[in-house]
A and B are shown apart, each in its own frame.
Chain A
């Protein structure tokens, strides 16, 4: 029965006068920073792994490498984090202070600061460069919408979600998105190096 779906989607896209913009869920990265496209316009409030409050705009001035995860994830999220660690390792050591790695939890129930701290320590994430944040449903839905991340909580409280690693420039505009796991990280690294302050 699943096989009906693709043809229906195709049908919907062609036959309905509804879809005016096509189905490009991933915004194409723009080389130029435009204030109007800055994610820092989101006024959502977050709490980091130490319990300290954050706004996304706190990271203005650094290049931000971010992904949405949940720490109970057994399959994709550990690999997203590994991919991000690979990106970190590929950066020249003297420039790493200019780059912020930000993991945003979609698990509003379970990813408390204590859980995020334990996850961070287990993965060996350097707290100087890595921040893990959680927020309420409203905040999570908003950031997911701007990053183009689709996610759904299942009956067990786990999540199906799309896997993106997004690079933000110093003004919070998306300059690159890496889709999928174990994808070649070179373009992400290049985007970071291009946009370093």
Chain B
């Protein structure tokens, strides 16, 4: 029922966009300062890349579980969602505009670098959208009949190097990621998709911005980091099963720590997203 309604509103939104394509400037007034509205006249969703089934090696495997978990084949967007694409979404879905989004779904930093509800500096158009909450990322994905990738899907896809499905053992692989983690975010991000594609054909899983995953909130740590050496059983049921599989994988520790610091309404300067979809049943495995 809900999905039916969503689909209808989405189609309506796309129809509006098509209209906008013919007379884009009339769709919405320019921002208060009168600067040009960098409309994306034709919305083009990011192409989906088919990722074959394979193993995800969790940092914290469950007790009694093998050190890798099978990930079924799925599809993942080639690169991160851009400001121009996100603009098309908020044009079609006003409740996700900066001035209208309820505080339940996004904090005060939501799209804070945009100059208005529907405007941003033109050089940001092809850069990944950031300062978006998990709820907003999820709503964008749903608008496209897509979804956010699971943590297992993302980590599995991101474990590939440019030449191998599992790159973590390659010399220099982890160091390149850590080097990126240690650099501050540039004021103007490079365009999404400008980095080299990995083994699966996916760009920028490392090196541009961090990404939301559907189940970001599975990392069971408390806000008080010094209290986590032995997680308090009164706060977390089942916390006794935690123990890291690959202590040398510092990059994974960093991502784990980062995700565990997030709440779903946070809108952060270098956290973006890309969408996923279940495997296309028509496609051959």
A interface list, Cβ under 8 A from B: 1-6, 8-13, 15-27, 34-39, 41, 43-45, 73, 75-77, 141-142, 144-146, 148-152, 154-156, 158-163, 179-183
Contacts and interface: CB of A to CB of B under 8 A. Distances in A.
Nearest to A146: B104
Contacts of B114: none
Given A17-B269, A18-B258, A151-B218, A2 B264 contact: no
A17 B185 contact: yes
Contacts of B238: 75-76, 152, 154, 158-161
B253 interface: yes
A11 B264 CA distance: 22
Chain B CB count within 10 A is highest, among A12, A15, A18, for A18
A43 B185 contact: no
Contacts of A43: 2
Contacts of A3: 229
Given A17-B184, A17-B185, A180-B235, A145 B264 contact: yes
Given A13-B261, A17-B269, A155 B223 contact: no
Chain B CB count within 10 A is highest, among A4, A24, A45, A161, for A161
Interface string B211-226: 0001101111111011
Closest 3 CB pairs of A and B: A160-B238, A76-B237, A145-B264
Chain B CB count within 10 A is highest, among A13, A16, A182, for A16
Contact of A73 (B210, B222, B237): B237
Contacts of A15: 182
27 contacts: A2-B242, A4-B247, A5-B228, A5-B257, A6-B228, A11-B257, A12-B257, A16-B254, A17-B185, A17-B269, A23-B223, A23-B225, A25-B263, A35-B102, A36-B102, A36-B103, A37-B103, A76-B237, A141-B214, A142-B135, A152-B215, A154-B63, A156-B62, A162-B220, A163-B235, A163-B236, A181-B234
Nearest to A148: B263
A155 B103 contact: no
A16 B269 CA distance: 11
B73 interface: no
A102 B184 CA distance: 45
A151 B236 CA distance: 9
Given A2-B229, A8-B254, A21-B268, A38 B237 contact: no
B145 to A, nearest CB: 13
B271 interface: yes
Nearest to A179: B235
Chain A CB count within 10 A is highest, among B1, B215, B229, for B215
Contacts of A159: 237-238
B232 interface: yes
A152 B62 CA distance: 10
B171 interface: no
Contacts of B229: 2-3, 5-6
A36 B104 contact: yes
Given A17-B269, A20-B268, A155 B62 contact: yes
B155 interface: no
Contacts of A75: 233, 237-238
A156 B219 CA distance: 18
Contacts of A179: 235
A151 B260 CA distance: 11
Contacts of A77: 237
Given A10-B225, A17-B185, A38-B104, A160 B268 contact: no
B217 A150 contact: yes
Interface string B265-277: 0101111000000
A1 B215 contact: no
Contacts of B2: 43-45
A146 B239 CA distance: 22
A163 B179 CA distance: 37
Contacts of A25: 222-223, 263
Contacts of A149: 217
Interface in B83-107: 102-105, 107
A21 B131 CA distance: 12
B181 interface: yes
Contact of B217 (A16, A27, A144): A144
A163 B264 CA distance: 18
